[in-house]
Amino acid sequence: MILIRGARPYGEDAVDVLIADGAIAAIGAPGSVAVPDDAQIVEADGLILLPGFVDVHTHLREPGREDAETVATGSAAAALGGYTAVFAMPNTEPATDTAGVVEQVWRLGSQIGLVDVIPIGAVTVGRKGERLAELGAMADSAARTTMFSDDGSCVSDPSLMRRALEYVKAFDGVVAQHAEEHKLTVDAQMNEGAVSARLGLKGWPAVAEEAIIARDALLAGHVGSRLHVCHVSTAGSVDILRWAKAKGWDVTAEVTPHHLLLTDDRAEGYDPLFKVNPPLRTAADVEALREALADGTIDCVATDHAPHSTEDKETEWAAAPPGMLGLQTALSVVVQTMVQTGKLDWRGVADRMSVAPARIGRIDGVPSSDGGPAGPNGGHGQPIEVGRAANLVLIDPDATWLVAPSELASKSRNTPFAGFTLPARVIATFLRGTPTVLDGALAATAGATA
């Protein structure tokens, strides 16, 4: 049993929260919750309590690129970032495109036990965009994968995309599209605009993203299926999403922390830490993304945590792979860009980082081992109330911290925020009542502090 003392759910009035058997057993005014002598006390005076975060877009690199990240190191980074569940992208080696690989990743995640790791299945065999992978077999596997993506690559063929959308309807699945018309981004290095013209780097036009989002929204509407748009990065994409949602189509979208904060002029130093796909865009795009996340046009924040080894990343810009770390800095960047600017309150943060992504990934239901809709991964993104699974995060809203790459839990070091001083820190994370992260200064036993 754990008693969290004096925490503020959603930043509201302080309460005591008792956790027993992995669930929230009692919530009451400070001092009012009876607590057994052997309970562990967490002194959370003034800290903010939110449902544990859910990331629908993480690259864990296992199997195949364990030099860059493993399920273990990525899980540790996730827990430290306040996450209780992450969806692992299938651009592994081999690709996560069969029930066998899906189960392998899922079992690794549950053995490590720091966060629920839900593998995303590839849409096409080997992510080659040629023929559909065994979506049904992956959905039937122990992992109950219902999200599919060829992320890193776009499902370019519209008839394959249509068939994938039709297929996932059978199990209420979703296709998460990496929206990029590859024929418009051949050799592209950064956002196409004034900065790329000045630097002489080949540009990546906004229309390459927007054209696919428009096409896929039309397909999802036509088929009556669920589309999720990965890492939306342009103001034009936001307009298209607004239109698709107004039509009543089942289209959801995510934005990354780096697209909420950084702009394309970061490329000026030719430091590949700022190379990412989709690329960093303009200040006007950043403003449109913040507005869209605030008004719900963009449903959630997803990190696109993309570890790359120092060997791969420390090379010239054109040769470096795109991608940035994100799990341990996501909350802080969201606080800086959305909370400190008055665009989201703490309830809004809970919605965009926990409730909405849990719903999109269908892990918001009651967990079940017998094939219920949430499968074994349920219980995330739920309200903080008695009876709910104790998947929770405690945050110090007033802390600031200096991002030091060598101190991150990830196996890779490619954070674009190195040297930034960011607001807000994760103090503790609880997965089904078990602390996966807990600042030692807060912990005591009831007997010792009474």
Catalog residues that contact ligand DOR under the rule CB under 6 A: 59, 91, 151-152, 178, 276-277, 306, 321-323
Residue 195 vs 302, nearer CB to Zn ion: 302
In the annotation, is 304 catalytic? yes
CB of 110 to ligand DOR, least distance (A): 23
Residue 221 vs 321, nearer CB to ligand DOR: 321
Handedness of CA 243, 246, 250, 254 (dihedral sign): positive
Residue 109 vs 278, nearer CB to Zn ion: 278
Beta bridge partner(s), residue 421? 402
| Order of strands, sheet of 251-255, starting from the edge strand that comes earlier in the sequence | 147-148, 174-177, 227-229, 251-255, 300-301
Q: Name, in order, each residue with C-beta under 8 angstroms of 134's C-beta and a sequence gap of 6 or more.
A: 97, 98, 99
Residue 7 binding result from ligand DOR, Zn ion, none, given CB thresholds of 5 to 8 Å by partner type:
none
* Count of chain residues binding Zn ion (CB under 5 A): 3
Query: Which segment (1-9, 145-153, 205-213, 258-266) binds Zn ion by CB under 5 A?
Result: 145-153
CB of 59 to ligand DOR, least distance (A): 5
Nearest to 135 by CA among 104, 87, 169: 169
CB of 258 to Zn ion, least distance (A): 12
The residue type found at 163 is R
CB of 259 to Zn ion, least distance (A): 12
The residue type found at 130 is E
Query: Which segment (10-18, 72-80, 194-202, 224-232) binds Zn ion by CB under 5 A?
Result: 224-232
Query: Which segment (15-23, 120-128, 147-155, 280-288) binds Zn ion by CB under 5 A?
Result: 147-155
Handedness of CA 428, 349, 383, 354 (dihedral sign): negative
Binders in 167-206 for Zn ion, by CB under 5 A: 178
**340 vs 187: CA distance, rounded Å:** 38
CB of 365 to Zn ion, least distance (A): 27
**22 vs 38: CA distance, rounded Å:** 16
Q: Name, in order, each residue with C-beta under 8 angstroms of 335's C-beta and a sequence gap of 6 or more.
A: 349, 397, 422, 423, 424
Query: Which segment (121-129, 229-237, 279-287, 316-324) binds Zn ion by CB under 5 A?
Result: 229-237
**33 vs 387: CA distance, rounded Å:** 15
Given 16, 304, 312, 396, which residue is catalytic? 304
Residue 91 binding result from ligand DOR, Zn ion, none, given CB thresholds of 5 to 8 Å by partner type:
ligand DOR
Query: Which segment (11-19, 223-231, 313-321, 411-419) binds Zn ion by CB under 5 A?
Result: 223-231
Q: Does 216 bind Zn ion (CB under 5 A)?
A: no
Element (H, E) at 190: strand 190-191
CB of 322 to ligand DOR, least distance (A): 4
Residue 208 vs 344, nearer CB to ligand DOR: 208
* Closest residue to Zn ion using C-beta atoms: 178
Residue 276 vs 334, nearer CB to ligand DOR: 276
Tokens at 395, concatenated: 């945050």
The residue type found at 33 is V
Alpha carbon 356 to its chain's center? 11
CB of 418 to Zn ion, least distance (A): 22
Q: Where would I find the beta strands (DSSP E) of 69-167?
A: 83-88, 116-119, 147-148
Instruction: Rule CB under 5 A: choose which of 16, 55, 151, 299 binds Zn ion.
Output: 151
Residue 59 vs 362, nearer CB to ligand DOR: 59
Nearest to 285 by CA among 353, 202, 194: 194
**57 vs 306: CA distance, rounded Å:** 9
Q: What is the CB-side half-sphere exposure of residue 248 using CA atoms within 13 A? A: 3
Residue 206 binding result from Zn ion, ligand DOR, none, given CB thresholds of 5 to 8 Å by partner type:
none
Residue 16 vs 216, nearer CB to ligand DOR: 216
**269 vs 274: CA distance, rounded Å:** 9
Contact footprint for Zn ion (CB under 5 A): 151, 178, 230
- The set of catalytic residues is 304
